[in-house]
């Protein structure tokens, strides 16, 4: 019904390969490549279907592994999560080790004992030019390269000392990165036939690391801390995949490519409960006059035409709730959050009238 090919204005987009009537479900993005429910909400949001009820803690947990930081609304959601997300039981031990490390870091903070790397990497006079950023990452990689990693790093006192106390949002980032790294590890010996769930499919998305760091320089420090945290705690067999390149790949692609997991029904009061990356859904570009509506259905993203689409026309969604904003506000928001100047037909017409 549509194909992904280069656009005339840069990057790739989805183009109709036939006339498509209004109301056609053109794509379902089924399982996120990686996703995280934010720490503040995770007891109230089902880890499988993302069902959310304010102030209601879901009761269903994984059997025997209550410390993985996952809550489910039903046993069937728990079973489906296991089948889809962790059939080989590699992910849950990693999520558990993250939660154990969080507990260790919190205890250390309370007793005011600091870890080995609790100083800042990014000093006030740091230059954010790309070369300096590369050099800093090389320095960090050199610091943490260790041959003392064991099967269970948290049992090793030296490594335990390296566990950084992170901010809540950094723990969320660490979980998001960890899920992606487990997928990469699994792929190393078990080739997936579904391109959207492969690291390659994921890394085909554009990284916005530089744009992100330019906009929010403090995130560089944060990204480094996430890397060091994961390097200290990830099990030995995953260590070869915990590289600065891979961690940066995930964090750089989350920006501008992630879909917020919004409370439903969606309105201006909805809470953002988490973040998910669906590579197949990320090829829909933005337009302020979109012909496709993106809706969340449980954990799936559905893409449905909102008007009749001609053969060859690009299929576009709206990235945020901005369609009622005036043109300049939309332009500013898209530049700030998604790093591009919107040249859609509506913006072009409205900017011409405003000039």
Which residues form the interface with Zn ion (CB under 5 A)?
Answer: 46, 48-49, 51, 73, 77, 288, 342, 344, 347
Of the two residues 76 and 114, which places its CB atom closer to Zn ion in the complex? 76
CB 225 within 8 A of CB 164: yes
Of the two residues 184 and 301, which places its CB atom closer to Zn ion in the complex? 301
Strand partners, 35: 276
Element of type H or E holding 301? strand 300-305
Of the two residues 245 and 354, which places its CB atom closer to Zn ion in the complex? 354
Minimum Å gap between C-beta 73 and Zn ion is: 3
Minimum Å gap between C-beta 180 and Zn ion is: 22
Minimum Å gap between C-beta 352 and Zn ion is: 13
Determine the Cα angle at 38 with ends 36 and 41, to 5°. 125
The 10 Å Cβ neighbour count of residue 216 is: 11
Of the two residues 81 and 199, which places its CB atom closer to Zn ion in the complex? 81
Of the two residues 223 and 294, which places its CB atom closer to Zn ion in the complex? 294
Q: Which residue has the tokens 């591009």?
A: 340
Secondary structure of residue 19 in the 3-state scheme: coil
Q: Which residue has the tokens 């064991």?
A: 150
Of the two residues 73 and 122, which places its CB atom closer to Zn ion in the complex? 73
Minimum Å gap between C-beta 327 and Zn ion is: 7
Of the two residues 251 and 342, which places its CB atom closer to Zn ion in the complex? 342
d(CA 301, CA 294): 7
Minimum Å gap between C-beta 115 and Zn ion is: 36
Nearest Cα neighbor of 50 from 291, 262, 344 is 262
Q: Which two tokens stand for residue 216?
A: 């929010």
Q: Is 143 exposed, middle or buried (0-12, 13-18, 19+ CB in 10 A)?
A: middle
The 10 Å Cβ neighbour count of residue 355 is: 5
Q: Which two tokens stand for residue 275?
A: 């973040």
Minimum Å gap between C-beta 186 and Zn ion is: 24
Minimum Å gap between C-beta 298 and Zn ion is: 7
């Amino acid at each position: 019904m549509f194909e992904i090919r280069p656009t005339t204005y840069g990057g790739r987009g989805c183009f109709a390969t036939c006339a498509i009537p209004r109301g056609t479900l053109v794509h379902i993005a089924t399982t996120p490549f990686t996703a995280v429910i934010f720490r503040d909400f995770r007891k109230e949001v089902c880890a499988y279907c993302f069902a959310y009820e304010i102030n209601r803690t879901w009761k269903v947990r994984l059997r025997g592994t209550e410390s993985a930081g996952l809550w489910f609304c039903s046993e069937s959601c728990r079973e489906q999560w296991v089948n889809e997300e962790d059939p080989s039981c590699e992910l849950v031990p990693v999520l558990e080790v993250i939660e154990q490390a969080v507990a260790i870091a919190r205890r250390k903070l309370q007793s005011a004992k600091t870890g080995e790397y609790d100083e800042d990497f990014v000093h006030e006079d740091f230059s954010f030019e790309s070369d300096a950023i590369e050099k800093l990452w090389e320095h960090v990689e050199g610091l943490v390269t260790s041959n003392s990693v064991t099967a269970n790093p948290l049992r090793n006192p030296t490594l335990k000392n390296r566990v950084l106390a992170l901010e809540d949002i950094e723990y969320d980032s660490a979980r998001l990165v960890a899920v992606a790294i487990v997928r990469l590890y699994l792929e190393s010996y078990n080739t997936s036939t579904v391109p959207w769930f492969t690291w390659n499919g994921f890394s085909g998305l554009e990284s916005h690391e530089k744009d992100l760091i330019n906009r929010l320089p403090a995130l560089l420090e944060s990204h480094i801390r996430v890397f060091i945290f994961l390097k200290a705690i990830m099990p030995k067999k995953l260590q070869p995949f915990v590289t600065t390149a891979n961690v940066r790949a995930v964090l750089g692609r989350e920006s501008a490519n992630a879909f917020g997991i919004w409370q439903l029904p969606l309105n201006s009061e909805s809470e953002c409960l988490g973040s998910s990356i669906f590579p197949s859904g990320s090829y829909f570009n933005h337009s302020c006059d979109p012909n496709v509506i993106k809706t969340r259905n449980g954990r799936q993203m559905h893409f449905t035409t909102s008007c009749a689409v001609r053969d060859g026309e690009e299929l576009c969604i709206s990235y945020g709730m901005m369609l009622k904003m005036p043109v300049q506000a939309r332009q500013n928001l898209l530049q700030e959050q998604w790093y591009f100047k919107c040249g859609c037909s509506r913006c072009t017409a409205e900017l011409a009238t405003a000039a």
